[in-house]
A and B are shown apart, each in its own frame.
Chain A
Amino acid sequence: MSVHLRSLRIQAGDRALVSQVSLRILPGKITVLVGASGSGKTLSARSLLGLVRGIEPGIVQADLEIQDGEKTHRPYDARDREAAFAPIRGPLLGWLPQNPRAALDPLRAVGLQISDCLKLAGRQSDPGPWLKRVNLASGVGALLPHQLSGGMAQRIGIALALARGSRFLIVDEPTTGLDPSLRAGILQELRAARDAGVGLLLITHDLRLVRKLGDHLLVMDRGCIVEDRSAQDLGAMKSPQAQALWQATARLEGR
């Protein structure tokens, strides 16, 4: 079981938005992808799901290999890429997008949306336990997305991702704009998912998260990976961009 992306290149006109990006997600491990805004983190993550607008060979080139037991999926080598991604989206790879409220159907009760996910996963469609798991009352299931606070929407997003039961989960900036106690709750859920054997790709601006729960660290800058190392000794990072990020984090923590 692994997701292995090699030499990803995403082209817009004659400009490469992302080039030479390689990354790996392993079960029970958290790979953290860090970088400034606009460095291509989200785009790279979306290419794992084949959800880059204009999936044609002229725009996205990649060598993506997803191993699932005996089977190996190589969706970017297929002639019909859209069809090749169909068995991957959901059961193998899940996605918790950056703005969880925008990722919810605006006019459908959130409980029903959780049920939709559960049905897709072939599970019993009662959303109650999943709401409880992310510390929401069961009455929340009847609300529409615009009636939720930011933190509630974020937790619904996590409930959806967990309900889908993907083997690997791409989590895009899950703690942005949350207060510390909610942040801790979300991190707790991510840890629990990791301990249950889910492989996570965590995208963030925040290097502090890397120390708390990262296994492997990737730093992106202007569409390229500039640092690729284990998440242990963060002080010894080589590239200037990674060092700048690290120093900014240290200042933030007052050290």
Chain B
Amino acid sequence: MSAWRPWAGSALLLFPLLIWVVSLGAGYDVIGDVDVSRASVGPSAAHWLGCDHLGRDVLWRLVTASESFVGPSLLACAVALAIGVPAGALSGWLGGRAASLTRFALTTIASLPRFVLVLLVCAAFGNSVQLIALAAGVAYAPTLAEAIYARIQSFRHRGFVLAGQAHGLRSGRILWLHLLWVNHRRLILRHCIQLFAYFLLLETTLSYIGGLDGAGSFGVAQPDPSWGNMIAFEWREPEANLWASLAPGLATALVLLGATWTGRSLVEEQA
């Protein structure tokens, strides 16, 4: 793989985090920005990406839309880490019946298609992006746990683990410091990036399908911006500003590409 991809990938991944910080600082008014006199105007110095058919600034909506997935996807990562890492590490380290039961429970969750699981949670508990994030984290945890389980189990009886025990290192320190942090932090980071990308895609999809009107919808609904509902809101409009639907689509594609490149570079350096 070319040397620039990990760098380009990381830059593309940092981009949503950056605009998230900008958006939190700026506090763009999602409701009050309507101005019909500039409906569907193209890019200009005042509105770099033009305006949508209600005359709302596309760039600001693009930036503000980061709030609907960056924070929640970090929440999803936290949930997946909190469940997946201890479950995978302990069952790999201890083995035995408790490990089999844990893996059985996690495999049961993993056997449900993730998208369906998320929709079920929405249907049962109501639609909120935090809830979707929670469900995505729980749905992803088995994948993370199983990856960690496989690695820890294969490292469990390696020479350096035995040598550490012979030196008098406590099992906890060997497991958390040497096995998880030193040897598998890249693996864990890669799974977090994958989950981040998965959540972005999930949120964009849900908001594209169901984000047009407030009641009974899925995902993030208008007037709150999301890259998914921005596309859905614009692309059928006659004489629309092309950028109003193209920009969020491009942004989604670029961030996903960044996640792929970064994740892949983490795999290759590990091998």
Give A contacts to B, CB under 8 Å: 46, 49, 51, 53, 86, 89-91, 93-95, 97, 99, 102-108, 116-117, 120, 160, 164
Contact = CB atoms under 8 A, between A and B. Distances in A.
Task: Give the 5 A-B CB pairs with smallest separation, nearest first.
Answer: A90-B168, A102-B159, A95-B166, A103-B163, A89-B168
B169 A51 contact: no
Contacts of A105: 160, 164, 178, 182-183
B165 interface: yes
B167 A99 contact: no
A108 B179 CA distance: 11
Contacts of B165: 49, 51, 89
19 contacts: A49-B165, A49-B166, A51-B165, A53-B157, A86-B168, A89-B165, A95-B166, A97-B163, A97-B166, A102-B158, A103-B162, A103-B163, A104-B163, A105-B160, A106-B183, A108-B182, A116-B167, A116-B169, A120-B168
A89 B160 contact: no
Given A103-B163, A108-B182, 19 more contacts: A49-B166, A51-B162, A51-B166, A91-B168, A94-B166, A95-B167, A97-B162, A97-B166, A102-B160, A103-B162, A105-B178, A105-B182, A106-B160, A107-B182, A116-B169, A117-B167, A160-B167, A164-B167, A164-B168
A147 B158 CA distance: 19
Interface in B148-176: 157-160, 162-170
Contacts of B166: 49, 51, 89-90, 93-95, 97
B130 to A, nearest CB: 36
Contacts of A99: 159
Contacts of B178: 105, 108
Interface of B (DSSP majority class): helix
B188 to A, nearest CB: 13
B87 to A, nearest CB: 23
Interface of A (DSSP majority class): loop
Interface of B: 157-160, 162-170, 178, 182-183
Contacts of B167: 89-90, 94-95, 116-117, 120, 160, 164
Nearest to B270: A107
Contacts of A104: 160, 163
A95 B157 CA distance: 16
Contacts of A97: 159, 162-163, 166
A53 B159 CA distance: 12
Nearest to A87: B168
B101 to A, nearest CB: 21
Contacts of B170: 86
B108 to A, nearest CB: 30
A211 B168 CA distance: 32
Contacts of B164: 105
B23 to A, nearest CB: 37
A112 to B, nearest CB: 9
A239 B125 CA distance: 79
Nearest to B159: A102
A95 B165 CA distance: 10
A77 to B, nearest CB: 20
Contacts of A49: 165-166
A91 B169 CA distance: 11
Contacts of B183: 105-107
B48 to A, nearest CB: 45
Contacts of A108: 178, 182
Residue from B160, B163, B164 having most chain A Cβ neighbours under 10 A: B163
Contacts of A103: 159-160, 162-163
Residue from B159, B160, B168 having most chain A Cβ neighbours under 10 A: B168
Nearest to B173: A116
Contacts of B163: 95, 97, 103-104, 160
Contacts of B160: 102-106
A85 to B, nearest CB: 9
A105 B168 CA distance: 15
A80 B162 CA distance: 19
Nearest to A82: B171
A178 to B, nearest CB: 18
Contacts of A95: 163, 166-167
Nearest to B162: A51
B58 to A, nearest CB: 46
A33 B165 CA distance: 23
A108 B183 CA distance: 8
B40 to A, nearest CB: 55
